[in-house]
Chains A and B, each alone.
Chain A
Amino acid sequence: MRTLILKTASNYLLPVLLVFSIFILLRGHYLPGGGFVGGLIAAIAFVLHAFANGLDNTKGLLRFHPGFLMPVGLGLAFFSGLTPVLFFDDPFMTGLWFPEPFPVIGSVGSALFFDIGVYLVVIGVTLTIIFTISESA
């Protein structure tokens, strides 16, 4: 099912959805949002692209297998929890924060890196599952 409208729209929607997913990711510390939802939105962006342009084009766009994002994300989340143990002798998962908030992003702490890890894992898992199913279908 190839439609011109969806194809044109998806090219514009992909970057918009990705930016939106990052917005949701950053918003998540105090407000609804976070890595999980953000990751799902980002995955949906690619799924939409795959619907409109075919699976092979989306894979070409990604350049690497989405499953690779799983260990990367897990590793990031793991080290965000491990940093306080290694460098500050605080218990595992203790929140560490930069003293000054950054412009635009706001306060940055180890929790953000944990969330980015979740974000990557969710994209990786969702895309791997959907790509595998649509390949075998």
Chain B
Amino acid sequence: MTQQLILYPLLLQLFLAILLMFFWRKISAQRIISMIGSLIHLAVSIGVFAYIWNHGTQTVQAGDWEAPFGITFIADTFAATMVLLTSIAGLAVSIFSSGSVISDRLRFGYFPIFHFLLLGLTGAFLTGDIFNLYVWFEIIIISSFVLITIGGEKAQLEGAVKYFTLNFLASMIFLTAIAVLYGLTGSLNMADLAGKVAAVENRALVEIDAILFLIAFGIKSALFPLYFWLPASYHTPPSAVSAIFGGLLTKVGVYALIRVFTLIFVGDVLLDQILLVLAIFTLFSGALGALVQNNIRKVFSYLIICHIGYMIIGLGMFTEVAIAGAIFYLIHDILVKTNLFMMSGLIYRITGSNSMRALGGFYANYPKLSLLLFIPLFSLVGIPPLSGFWPKISLITAAFESESYWSLAAIIFASFITLVVISKLWAEVFWKDVQEIPARPKFRYFHKIRNIKRIQIVVPIVFLSLVSLYVGFGAEHIQILSARISSELMDSQQYIDAVLNSQKTQ
């Protein structure tokens, strides 16, 4: 049974989604199943991670079809880490959803779809087959369409149209890129492709194909210049949905970018330059966008874009230190962004508003909560020793080593603007005098809802804050982890061997 350990997170999510569909009308049962299931999923993911950490990369050939022909599932340290992070964010958002999402929305199958989304994410991280990756992306975007439109408010539908159009376009480009790749090499297995793409003589076509992949994943991970769907849509759904979107959906694009550009299209100088330039522009435009926004969730949406730049800049520099920095940033960012959107949901529940100008006096009224919210906010900025600080050291070191001073400037500029934005937010929302916000008669304010709901809203924020505190204070562990992932990514041979030669050694 242990050889297939890496499939268990996947199978568990599928099982949960199906089980939840049987309880279509019974919302309270769905809440309990989702929370317990997510807890088990976390335990399983920790098990998988520990196993991979001790025993190295593991593969499963689905259907027992041999490697280049069948679909391979592979968990190296990177994939196992991402699965673990998915389960942490999934657990937090699952609890948060049952506290904060109103039952009119839950009645339309919120929880089953939520677990289908987590299934898609887990699958995308674990697959070793590029077409299978496409299929998982489809599962992710179909589920996310449902989640973003659930409830059917006018603003939601407007955001969903933008979200749908661009993501659909990205999927088509992704599919085209796969088709070209298959035409060139006759293979879809990523490990097999790594060798075959290097041997293709038509380098121009390979380069074009790589750029197609870059565009497809670039749209999905909200890279410059194709990011504008993100701030147009992420503030519209319930904050629980924004939390899982902001935490994980763009990151799966980043994961795919890192995977494809460290394994299949390697050693292309032009491509690395393009990645660097795009990352620098992403950092600038996201940071400047965040400066001018007033809605808290829109600020966070732009900060997502901005901070995607950090990961891509690490990939663009393509040294071991830089990629380690990018991975560390990815780990930190998933936790913090999920937490921030939940935090905006909490503020919204308490005050009925998300506008920075209208809010105020949070620190005076809710000192303990403010202290809690301080952690994710300033982790994001990277005040040492909180978690955002450490990956930037690696990135800045790498930028110095590769003498790429524009990247260095962009990294520092974006950090500075993030600091300005978060300080402004802190000053407006927490320190400013209490503002009179007109009370909304039918709104379920935080002080009106039952105690259990309040716990369900606050506990996930505490949980994620503790995890990101651990990332900050236990930075050494995460640094070791990122360094190991980075060295595995740079040395793609062990990945290829794990997939293609595993049968022969057994």
Contact = CB atoms under 8 A, between A and B. Distances in A.
Nearest to B59: A91
Given A82-B11, A91-B4, A92-B7, A74 B21 contact: yes
A56 interface: no
A67 B60 contact: no
Contacts of B205: none
A91 B18 contact: no
Given A74-B18, A78-B18, A85-B4, A91 B64 contact: yes
Given A82-B11, A89-B1, A71 B22 contact: yes
Contacts of A93: 62-63
A95 B18 contact: no
B63 A91 contact: yes
B431 interface: no
Interface in B1-59: 1, 3-4, 7, 11, 14-15, 17-19, 21-22, 24
A129 to B, nearest CB: 14
Main secondary structure of the interface of B (DSSP, over half): helix
Interface in A78-117: 78, 82, 85, 89-95
Contacts of A67: 24
A75 interface: yes
Contacts of A91: 3-4, 7, 60-64
A89 B14 CA distance: 19
Interface in A46-92: 67, 70-71, 74-75, 78, 82, 85, 89-92
A92 B24 CA distance: 27
Contacts of A78: 11, 14-15, 18
Contacts of A90: 64
Given A67-B24, A85-B4, A92 B11 contact: yes
Contacts of B17: 74
B1 A95 contact: no
A93 B3 CA distance: 14
Contacts of A92: 4, 7, 11, 60, 62-63
Nearest to B73: A92
Nearest to A85: B4
Interface string B256-268: 0000000000000
Contacts of B24: 67, 71
A75 B18 contact: yes
Nearest to A70: B21
Contacts of B21: 70-71, 74
A82 B62 CA distance: 11
A71 B18 contact: yes
Nearest to A76: B18
Nearest to A84: B64
Nearest to A86: B1
Contacts of A85: 1, 4, 7, 11
A93 B70 CA distance: 11
A95 B60 CA distance: 15
A74 B116 CA distance: 12
A91 B74 CA distance: 13
A70 B7 CA distance: 23
Nearest to B64: A94
Contacts of A71: 18-19, 21-22, 24
A74 B1 CA distance: 23
A67 B22 CA distance: 10
A74 B18 CA distance: 7
Nearest to B23: A71
Contacts of B11: 78, 82, 85, 92
A85 B64 CA distance: 11
Contacts of B14: 78
A28 B371 CA distance: 62
A70 B109 CA distance: 13
A90 B65 CA distance: 11
A131 B4 CA distance: 41
Contacts of A95: 63-64
A74 B24 CA distance: 14
Nearest to A94: B64
Nearest to B15: A78
A89 B19 CA distance: 24
Nearest to A74: B18
Contacts of A94: 63-64
Contacts of A74: 17-18, 21
Contacts of B22: 71, 75
A75 B64 CA distance: 21
A43 B15 CA distance: 26
A75 B21 CA distance: 10
A91 B11 CA distance: 12
Q: Which of B21, B62, B63 has the most CB of A within 10 A?
A: B63
The 10 A-B residue pairs with the shortest CB-CB distance, nearest first, are A71-B21, A93-B63, A94-B64, A74-B18, A71-B22, A93-B62, A91-B64, A75-B18, A91-B60, A92-B62
Interface of B: 1, 3-4, 7, 11, 14-15, 17-19, 21-22, 24, 60-64
5 contacts: A78-B18, A91-B3, A91-B63, A92-B11, A94-B63
Given A71-B19, A91-B4, 5 more contacts: A70-B21, A78-B15, A85-B11, A90-B64, A94-B63
